[in-house]
């Protein structure tokens, strides 16, 4: 599966060496591309580019470094990077699919709403900060949608 696009079932894109482990609500598989390439093609599939989405985030919430992105607006598909997207080791997590996250030794465990889990080599503070940024982005997006609806 070389042409994978993020969809409403996508939980996470976990970057491995030269490939990505894809977690979906009812599936789990590997793709021979790094996660950033999948993010780029997914953003393009929905009519933008990853850098365009990052610029949009900067305009909406003022965050430019490790910015969460709105991959697709109508479904509110917001993903955040685990580190700088300039690194091929960057993974991407769906904000809406997270149930909870917690420390496990030196690593972090993200548990998704469907019960599946991913383990990341990341500090609690860094993960929590990324979740908060993505939540701010989600809040601004929802606020703009409700303002649009109030003018109809």
Q: Report the run of H or E that residue 39 belongs to, with start and end.
A: helix 35-45
The per-residue pLDDT for range 34-53, each reduced to its tens digit, is: 999 999 999 999 999 999 99
Contacts of 60 (CB under 8 A, 6+ apart): 137, 140, 141
Question: Would the pLDDT of 2 be above 90?
Answer: no
The per-residue pLDDT for range 117-134, each reduced to its tens digit, is: 999 999 999 999 999 999
pLDDT band at 149 (very low <50, low <70, confident <90, very high): low
Report the C-alpha gap between 56 and 84 in whole angstroms. Answer: 17
Q: What is the pTM of this model?
A: 0.93
> How is 58-78 classified by DSSP, letter by letter?
HHHHS--TT--EEEETTTTEE
């Amino acid at each position: 599966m070389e042409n994978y696009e993020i969809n409403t079932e996508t939980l996470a894109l976990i970057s491995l060496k030269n490939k990505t482990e894809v977690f979906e609500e009812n599936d789990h598989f590997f793709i021979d591309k790094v996660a950033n390439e999948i993010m780029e093609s997914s953003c393009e599939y929905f009519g933008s580019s990853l850098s365009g989405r990052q610029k949009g985030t900067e305009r909406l919430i003022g965050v430019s470094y490790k910015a969460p992105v709105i991959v697709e607006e109508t479904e509110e598909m917001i993903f955040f990077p685990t580190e700088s997207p300039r690194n091929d080791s960057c993974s991407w997590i769906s904000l809406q699919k997270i149930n909870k996250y917690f420390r496990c030794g030196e690593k972090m465990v993200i548990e998704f709403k469907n019960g599946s889990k991913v383990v990341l080599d990341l500090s609690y503070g860094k993960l929590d900060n990324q979740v908060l940024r993505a939540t701010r982005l989600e809040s601004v997006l929802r606020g703009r949608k409700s303002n649009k609806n109030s003018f109809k």
